[in-house]
Structure 1
Amino acid sequence: MQTVPEERVVRRRVGSEDGEEWKKNGGTGGEEWKKNGGTGGEEWKKNGGAGVEEVEKESLMMELTRLVQKMVKESSWWERRGIDCSILAAAFLCLPPAFLLLGSSRLLWFSAGVLLMGVAHAVLTIKGTHLASHGALSESQAWAKFWAVFFIEICGSFSARAGVQGHIKMHHAHTNVIGLGDSSVWKVPFLPRTIYLFVAPLTVPIITPLVALAHLKGHSVALIARTVLMVTLGLYSQYWLLINVSGFQSPLTALLCMLVCRAMFSVPYIHVNIFQHIGLDMFSPTSRPKRIYQMTHGVLNLPRNPVLDWIFGHSLINCHVEHHLFPFLSDNMCLKVKPVVSKYLTEKKLPYQQDSYFSRLNFFFHKYQELMVFAPPITELVGVQ
């Protein structure tokens, strides 16, 4: 069996700086890709090359990058950012009527308020935080940093620094590399499968700010103070509005309403995080393929879903492969380049993995011990040099 040679790990700047790097290089992957021929050419040169077939493999990512870059340049601002910004703005506009409906004494209207609040919160804290962490909401570096703090800390009750560090520098840089970007943060092996898959996710709104505080250890006083202030502002503002606008009489019922609204989409959120990576090919830190092989073998798309696709964003649901190949594209742009990416990968006989939500749920439920309790085996891709 041929083994995969070790690939040089590219250290990239984080957060909004990543977005700036992306923009300076035409919006398709950064200076490192260009210097290395798109998929690790520098490593290939140091090893003396490997013939015509190797040259073809080394150029795959760069060829796909040029196709995507062309589409990005031909797209309007509305397609690149406007549509997603409008969805986030609509979520904000849903908040005033949601607070008013929550003040109704009629069960139907009150339930509508809970649903509206839950949907708006999910859009802001999942779609918003994800786009903000990648700097995909603005071309301005200063605004990108502002939106990261706003969405991740105020709306999402988490540390912007820790969120960007964990998502950009770990998950995206080391996708499906065991111990680095293998989604192991979602593994709780002592929980039985039913509790893990359907009950434990409901505690995410409580756990998230506590984990955020844990991540602040060792950072500057200014960063700690800002994060604590922003998280507190986000939580208290919702509580204050429930008391003073919705008319909740008891602090306990207001807190319970907050928990219900914030946990409404926690179950599918956890499911999506594990369905699209765990159970696919895994790699060791010292044996990983080139980027295009790593992403196509270790990432999976879910089909379009009329609810999750718009609440979570295309890049987290039906365009996850595209998102991992081109992480600084907005949700709408991921959807636009999807036909090009899928066609290209199919033509080059690379995997373009897709599966349904319920198929993955059934898979995880019946293989929970293997996938979530015991570490997945390291997979060496035969024939990938």
Structure 2
Amino acid sequence: MMELTRMVQGEVSRSSWWERRGIDCAILTAAFAALPAAFLLLASSQALLFALGVLVMGTAHAIITIKGTHLASHGAISESQAWGEFWAVFFIEVCGSFTARAGVHAHVKMHHAHTNVIGLGDSSTWRLPFLPRTVYLFLAPLAVPIITPLVALGQLRGQSLALALRTVLMVSLGLYSQFWLLIQVSGFQSPARALLCMLLCRALYSLPYIHVNIFQHIGLPMFSPTRRPKRIYQMTHGVLNLPRNPLLDWTFGHSLISCHVEHHLFPFLSDHMCLKVKPLVSRYLREKKLPYQEDSYLSRLCLFFHKYQELMVYAPPITELVGVQ
């Protein structure tokens, strides 16, 4: 692991700021820049333009709340610790409707530290064994925008009053801002229709989000808390890459799609840097006869559909919630 780390750090040191952080910051900026057009399109009475508005807003929302929250949880947006904390609160709480402290703890300190360790941290935010497989895979994820803030409220137990109050205010600010803009800019006369439009836009990428969430770890080797292997073996055996996907790679981020192995080995890297070191990492692992696991989206979906009971119902219990994939 130290040998590979030196090679990756050398590649990072030779890279410009634009490669290390700039490209991902530009993608996030573009998502925010697209929001005014989305609100104006949603004001249209023409079905095609309205649908385009939903697509633009849903895509921008996914970039901000999935790619943005993921980068922010790892402090990969800024080299400054203070700015890193600010961006974590902004992306996770204001934009993502979750609590930053619980999200960072669950994702960075549990999921990354204990990947596929039984009882500690797999990647399943979404494990509801009482649901039939069709409902679980294709219908229930649409409720993620509603469930997320409710789960966030549950995570506030045991936190300080100031921290809980901040989270409630930030989450409320994010939700109300979108609602207010739909009323004022998009011209929704009915609050119920505005809320329905919010749900539609926020749920647009919920299915692939949940699918990606479970595809890349569940069904792979799991480890005992008392007999876990060295880090490089844990991550290469317990993490899987999906192929490059023009839509999901840029919307969710390379580190969640085609560079998930690289991300788990080097979680401090931005999405673009994960993509840049991917050839180096894959070549090194193969030279050392270590697994470099890859599978297609369709193949994993078929696997989970046909082995739902084995993988999702009777799988070893994981007690820690993972709030940010």
TM-based fold match above 0.5 = yes
SS in 1 for 2:159: coil
Match for residue 269 of structure 1 among 185, 197, 209? 209
Q: Is the counterpart of residue 92 in structure 1 residue 71 in structure 2? A: no
User: d(CA) in 2 for partners of 1:203 and 1:187?
Assistant: 13
Corresponding residue of 1:292: 232
Match for residue 234 of structure 1 among 170, 174, 191? 174
Q: Is the counterpart of residue 156 in structure 1 residue 96 in structure 2? A: yes
Q: In structure 2, give the amino acid aligned to 1:268.
A: P
Corresponding residue of 1:177: 117
Q: Give the superposition deviation at 1:179.
A: 1.5
Q: Give the superposition deviation at 1:183.
A: 2.7
Corresponding residue of 2:320: none
Match for residue 198 of structure 2 among 255, 258, 262? 258
Greater mean alpha carbon deviation, residues 284-293 or residues 368-377: 368-377
1:1-16 equivalent positions in 2, closer than 5 A = none
1:110-259 equivalent positions in 2, closer than 5 A = 110-259=50-199
CA contact (8 A) 1:176 1:282 kept: yes
Q: In structure 1, give the amino acid aligned to 2:116.
A: N
User: d(CA) in 2 for partners of 1:361 and 1:171?
Assistant: 22
SS in 2 for 1:360: helix
Corresponding pairs, count: 317
Moved over 4 A (4+): none
User: d(CA) in 2 for partners of 1:313 and 1:242?
Assistant: 27
Q: In structure 2, give the amino acid aligned to 1:262.
A: R
User: d(CA) in 1 for partners of 2:41 and 2:126?
Assistant: 35
SS in 2 for 1:306: coil
Q: In structure 1, give the amino acid aligned to 2:4.
A: L
CA contact (8 A) 2:74 2:108 kept: yes
User: d(CA) in 1 for partners of 2:251 and 2:125?
Assistant: 23
Corresponding residue of 1:353: 293
CA contact (8 A) 1:279 1:376 kept: no
Q: Give the superposition deviation at 1:284.
A: 1.3
SS in 1 for 2:25: helix
Larger Rg: 1
User: What are structure 2's unaligned runs of at least 5 residues?
Assistant: 318-325
User: d(CA) in 1 for partners of 2:226 and 2:157?
Assistant: 29
User: d(CA) in 1 for partners of 2:72 and 2:104?
Assistant: 9
Q: Give the superposition deviation at 1:187.
A: 1.3
SS in 2 for 1:186: coil
Q: Give the superposition deviation at 1:281.
A: 0.4
1:40-55 equivalent positions in 2, closer than 5 A = none
* Identity across the alignment (%): 80
User: d(CA) in 1 for partners of 2:219 and 2:196?
Assistant: 35
Q: Give the superposition deviation at 1:246.
A: 0.3
User: d(CA) in 1 for partners of 2:187 and 2:216?
Assistant: 41
User: d(CA) in 1 for partners of 2:51 and 2:151?
Assistant: 30
Listed one character per residue, the Cα deviations across residues 30-79 of structure 1 (whole Å, up to 9, x for unaligned) are xxxxxxxxxxxxxxxxxxxxxxxxxxxxxxx0000010000000000000
